[in-house]
Amino acid sequence: MADGILYAKNTDEFKDAIAKYNTVIVDFYADWCPPCRKLGETIHNLLPKDYKNAIVLKLNCDEAGVAEVSKEHKVSGIPHVVLYVEGK
pLDDT at 53: 77
Which entry of 36, 56, 57, 69 is annotated as an active-site residue? 36
In which domain, by residue range, is 63 found? 5-85
| Annotation says 33 is catalytic | yes
Consecutive 10-residue runs of the chain (88 residues): their mean pLDDT?
Answer: 82 94 93 94 78 85 90 92 92
Which entry of 8, 18, 26, 33 is annotated as an active-site residue? 33
| Annotation says 36 is catalytic | yes
Closest by CA to 56, choosing from 76, 42, 72, is 42
CATH code at position 59: 3.40.30.10
Give CA separation, 2 vs 21, 39, 69, in Å: 15, 18, 22
Cβ atoms of 78 and 27 closer than 8 Å: no
- Residues ≥6 apart with Cβ < 8 Å to 49: 3, 4
Q: Look at the chain and report how many structural domains it folds into.
A: 1
